[in-house]
Amino acid sequence: MPTTAGMPRDALHQEQIVQAAIALLDEGGIESLTMRRLGSRLGITAAALYWHVKSRHDVLLRAADTVWAQTPLSALDGVEWRPALLATADNLRSMLLRHPWLLAAMTIQPLDGPARNRHDEHLLAVCEAAGLTRREAEQAAQSVVTFAIGAALAATPRPCVSFGLQSLLDGVETRRAART
């Protein structure tokens, strides 16, 4: 079995690479993620890293998807839509504050993976369960995400975020009630 820096090629696992990448990103932001630094952290050369990942972008996608996967989502059975949307927005804001590199990365390139898609579908399902049409649900979900991202960018304190989101959801409730 070929080795690089004394490590068998298959001894390194994707999870190790992703966790090392997230640690680098959390420590120094998106600029800190280079294949050389990541390889060094893992005890291999940057060239050897390419046996395990396609590119820096591939690593960034995997890191982003891992972070999205760690963001809790409420159960959909019997869920009340307002508390579910508030919790989802707060979880998103908290995740982005823990991993601020993700905000920068999302402005540079799309980082949509299975976990991000699951998050988006969950938001849509909550909004549709509230009685919104598909189009209204898409707009409401996007508004909640945009609000949470803005709150993370501004590092807005939680009480202000809660007030702002409650106000936004009051508008959604008014539109919903007007249709019924």
Q: What is the pLDDT along the chain (180 residues), one digit of tens a residue?
A: 344 444 454 578 999 999 999 999 999 999 999 999 999 999 999 999 999 999 999 999 999 999 999 999 988 888 888 999 999 999 999 999 999 999 988 888 778 899 999 999 999 999 998 889 999 999 999 999 998 998 888 887 777 778 888 888 898 888 888 876
Give the pTM. 0.84
The CA–CA distances, whole Å, from 55 to 34, 52, 58, 115, 146 equal: 10, 9, 5, 20, 29
Q: What is the residue whose two structure tokens read 């990103």?
A: 25
CB 103 within 8 A of CB 149: yes
